[in-house]
């Protein structure tokens, strides 16, 4: 018999939380029970799942009694406060926030890349940052053909990365601009419609913002390459959903043949090559939206560096960049429980 699990979703009313709910239903996860948790402000709302209404409960330290798996997507502060209570109650926490990603005691996992790290958990498994997941889905396969020395990444990040209210802000501001009105920022610090700006996380003394530092540090941890050279520039763009990234990858030795690189990408689970120069058809966020896979294209030799290549990738930030990756971690954990 297939074992069933008692599952809780923390942040159930948010963009990623509702995506977790959809995945559990559509992918027929073996559920024994479901508990939807959110802030006091959202408690009492009803969400539909598998043909019935579930009432959202207020998140408290006592919310995890009897829970086997707790998906957290309510921000780093809530994770730090409540994840220990979930672990103490016997649950495995799959945390989508930044709270535990760089904790040496917490595995940081992309299941296609380092699933074995799940076995190292002590109650919490961290879901990487969205831009890191999308980049590494394209970079990790390249290790089959050559050791990687350096990554240079420029991101074009959609409003979805800042949540459901930010997505609505892009829609509202677009209407305002088209009506000749001045857009009024509420979630973002600057107008997002018909504009772009540096990712609005705090900038440190080194000149890198938090999003860029996540790319650097998380990539090293996931790939188990503490000396990997990584630099990133992260930018918000007026796209509703799905992040795009331009990636330059430098190998330790001579650049592998492009055909071997394409074969490595094409054979990697979760990657789809979209690379048609004749039609100028390459990865686009509009085509990545709603897809599980990361789209990879513009595969070409770097004419300025004999050891490097360039790629362009797109991935759905809410799916593979967040909820889907966490869902896959849960599936891998359940598989190991049954083995």
SS3 98: coil
Cβ burial 306-337 (10 Å sphere, 16+ → b, else e): ebbbbbbbbbbbbbbbbbbbbbbbbbbbbeee
SS3 331: helix
CA–CA distance, 72 with 330 (Å, rounded to integer): 12
Tell me the C-alpha to C-alpha distance, in Å, between residue 258 and each of 22, 261, 263, 282: 38, 5, 9, 17
Catalytic residues: 130, 243
The string of DSSP letters for 223-242 reads HT-TT-EEEEEEEE-S-SS-
Give the CA count within 13 Å in the CB-facing half-sphere of 37. 25
CB 132 within 8 A of CB 108: no
Bridging pattern class, strands 243-251 and 148-157 = antiparallel
Any idea of the CA torsion for 117, 119, 121, 122, to the nearest 10 degrees?
A: -160
- Please name which of 24, 136, 17 lies closest in space to residue 79, comparing C-alpha atoms: 17
Q: Is the dihedral of CA 43, 45, 47, 51 positive or negative?
A: positive
Tell me the C-alpha to C-alpha distance, in Å, between residue 171 and each of 142, 223, 292, 300: 37, 37, 24, 35
């Amino acid at each position: 018999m297939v074992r069933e699990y008692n599952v809780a979703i923390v942040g159930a009313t948010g963009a990623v939380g509702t995506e977790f709910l959809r995945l559990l239903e559509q992918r027929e996860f073996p559920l024994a029970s479901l508990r939807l948790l959110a802030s006091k402000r959202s408690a009492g709302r009803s969400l539909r799942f598998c043909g019935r209404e579930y009432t959202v409960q207020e998140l408290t330290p006592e919310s995890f009694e009897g829970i086997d798996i707790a998906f957290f997507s309510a921000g780093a502060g809530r994770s730090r406060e409540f994840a220990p209570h979930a672990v103490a109650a016997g649950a495995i926490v799959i945390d989508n926030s930044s709270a535990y990603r760089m904790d040496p005691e917490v595995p940081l996992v992309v299941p296609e890349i380092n699933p074995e790290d799940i076995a190292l958990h002590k109650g919490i498994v961290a879901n990487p940052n969205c831009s890191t997941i999308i980049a590494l889905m394209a970079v990790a396969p390249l290790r089959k053909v050559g050791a990687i020395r350096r990554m240079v990444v420029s991101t074009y990040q959609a409003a979805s990365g800042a949540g459901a209210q930010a997505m609505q802000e892009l829609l509202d501001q677009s209407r305002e601009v088209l009506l000749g009105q001045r857009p009024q920022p509420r979630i973002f610090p600057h107008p997002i419609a018909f504009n772009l700006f540096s990712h609005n996380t705090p900038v440190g003394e080194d000149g890198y913002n938090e999003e860029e530092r996540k790319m650097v540090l998380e990539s090293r941890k996931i790939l188990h390459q503490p000396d990997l050279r990584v630099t990133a520039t992260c930018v918000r763009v007026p796209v509703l959903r799905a992040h795009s990234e331009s990636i330059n990858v430098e190998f330790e030795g001579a650049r592998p043949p492009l055909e071997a690189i394409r074969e490595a990408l094409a054979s990697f689970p979760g990657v789809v090559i979209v690379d048609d120069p004749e039609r100028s058809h390459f990865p686009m966020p509009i085509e990545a939206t709603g897809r599980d896979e990361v789209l990879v294209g513009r595969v070409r030799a770097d004419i300025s560096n004999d050891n490097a290549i360039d790629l362009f990738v797109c991935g759905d930030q809410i799916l593979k960049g967040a909820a889907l990756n966490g869902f896959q971690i849960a599936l891998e954990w359940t598989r190991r429980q049954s083995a």
